[in-house]
Chain A
Amino acid sequence: MGKRVTVTIEGCPVETQTGCSIAACVMQANGPALRQSVSGAPRGPFCGMGVCFECRMTVDGTLHQRTCMVNCRDGMRIQNEPATQAPVTPASKIEADVIVIGAGPGGIAAAVCAAEAGRRVALIDDNPEGGGQIWRRDAGKPPPRLAADWLKRLDRNKVDVFTHTQILGSAGPGTLRADGPAGPRAVHHGRLILACGARERFVPFPGWTLPGVFGAGGLQALVKSGYAVRGQRIVVAGSGPLLLAVAAFLHEHDANVRLVAEQTPRGKLVRFGASLVLRQPAKIAEAIGLRWRVRGVPFRAGCWPLGCEGDGRIVAVTLTDGKNTWTEPCDALACGFGLVPNTELPRHLGCTLDRGSVRVDDLQQTTVPGVYAVGELTGIGGLDKALLEGQIAGWAATDQADRARTMQEARRKTPRFATLLEDTFSLRPELRELARDDTLVCRCEDVPFGVLKQFSDWRDAKLQTRCGTGPCQGRVCGPAVEFLFGWVHESGRLPIFPTALGNLIEAPM
Chain B
Amino acid sequence: MSVVTCDVAILGAGIVGAACARALANAGMRVTVIDGRGIAGGATAAGMGHITVMDDSEAQFALTSYSQQLWNELSEQLPDDAEYVKTGTLWLAADDDEMAAARAKHAYYEARGVATEVLDAWALAEAEPNLRPGLTGALRVVNESVIYPPCAARWLLEQARQQGATLALGQPVVQIDGALLRIHDGTTFSCGSMVHATGTWAAELFPGLPIRPRKGHLVITDRYPGFARHQLVELGYLKSAHGHTTESVAFNLQPRRTGQMLLGSSRQFDVLHKDVEPRMLNRMVARALAYMPRLAGLSAIRTWTGFRAATPDSLPLIGPAEVDRHYLATGHEGLGITTSLGTAELVACHLTGRSSAIPGLPYLPSRFKKGAPHG
A residues sitting closer than 8 Å to B (CB atoms) are 38, 62-64, 82, 84-88, 169-172, 177, 456-457, 459-460, 463-464, 469-471, 473, 493-495, 498-506
Contacts and interface: CB of A to CB of B under 8 A. Distances in A.
B371 interface: no
A493 B38 contact: no
A505 B286 contact: yes
Nearest to B302: A473
Contacts of B222: 63-64, 471, 498
B301 A82 contact: no
Given A86-B297, A471-B301, A170 B278 contact: yes
Interface string B34-45: 000111110001
A355 B265 CA distance: 36
B244 interface: no
Given A501-B219, A504-B281, A505-B286, A494 B297 contact: no
Given A463-B38, A469-B301, A502-B295, 8 more contacts: A62-B297, A459-B37, A463-B40, A494-B303, A500-B298, A501-B219, A501-B263, A505-B285
B299 A500 contact: yes
B290 to A, nearest CB: 11
A23 to B, nearest CB: 18
A504 B299 contact: no
B285 A501 contact: yes
Which of B222, B279, B288, B293: most chain A Cβ within 10 A?
Answer: B222
B270 to A, nearest CB: 20
Contacts of B81: 464
Contacts, number: 109
B281 A494 contact: yes
A498 B301 contact: yes
B300 interface: yes
A505 B282 contact: yes
B300 A499 contact: yes
A171 B154 CA distance: 37
B253 to A, nearest CB: 11
Contacts of B288: 501
A460 B302 CA distance: 18
B170 to A, nearest CB: 8
Interface of B: 37-41, 45, 81, 150-151, 154, 219, 221-225, 258, 263, 276, 278-279, 281-282, 285-286, 288-289, 293-304
Contacts of B41: 459-460, 463
A355 to B, nearest CB: 24
A231 to B, nearest CB: 37
B296 A502 contact: yes
Contact of A85 (B151, B297, B301): B297
A86 B289 CA distance: 14
Contact of A498 (B39, B282, B293, B300): B300
B278 A502 contact: no
Contacts of B296: 85-86, 88, 500-502
Contacts of A456: 38
A506 B303 CA distance: 15
A82 B297 contact: no
12 contacts: A38-B258, A63-B222, A63-B224, A63-B297, A86-B297, A177-B278, A463-B41, A463-B45, A473-B301, A500-B298, A501-B297, A504-B282
Contacts of A504: 219, 281-282, 285, 300, 303
Nearest to A495: B300
A501 B41 CA distance: 27
A180 to B, nearest CB: 14
Q: Which secondary structure dominates where chain A touches chain B?
A: loop
Which of B278, B279, B294, B304: most chain A Cβ within 10 A?
Answer: B278
Contacts of B151: 464
Contacts of A62: 297
B299 A464 contact: no
Nearest to A85: B297
B285 A494 contact: no
Contacts of A469: 301-302
Contacts of A87: 297
A169 B300 CA distance: 13
A84 to B, nearest CB: 8
Given A85-B296, A493-B303, A463 B285 contact: no
Contacts of A64: 222, 299
Given A38-B258, A464-B151, A499-B299, A82 B38 contact: no
A471 B154 contact: no
Contacts of B224: 63, 82
A84 B276 CA distance: 29
Nearest to B263: A501
A498 B299 contact: yes
Contacts of A505: 282, 285-286, 289
A64 B300 CA distance: 11
A470 B289 CA distance: 23
A470 B281 contact: no
A170 B277 CA distance: 9
Contact of B276 (A460, A473, A493, A499): A493
Nearest to A87: B297
A501 B298 contact: yes
Given A82-B224, A172-B278, A506-B278, A500 B38 contact: no
B303 A471 contact: no
B171 to A, nearest CB: 13
A38 B225 CA distance: 12
A82 B225 contact: yes
Contacts of B219: 501, 504
Contacts of A494: 276, 278, 281, 303
A404 to B, nearest CB: 32
Contacts of B276: 493-494
Given A501-B297, A504-B300, A457 B38 contact: yes
Contact of A493 (B40, B279, B293, B302): B302
A506 B282 contact: yes
A62 B298 CA distance: 9
Contacts of A460: 38-39, 41
Nearest to B38: A460
A464 B150 contact: yes
B14 to A, nearest CB: 12
Nearest to A465: B81
Nearest to A177: B278
Nearest to B296: A502
Given A460-B39, A463-B45, A471 B278 contact: no
B278 A85 contact: no
A499 B295 CA distance: 12
A63 B296 CA distance: 12
B45 A502 contact: no
B302 A501 contact: no
6 cross-chain pairs, A with B, having the tightest CB-CB distances, nearest first: A85-B297, A502-B296, A86-B297, A460-B38, A463-B150, A498-B301
A170 B281 CA distance: 12
B301 A470 contact: yes
A504 B281 CA distance: 7
Contacts of A464: 39, 81, 150-151, 154
B216 to A, nearest CB: 15
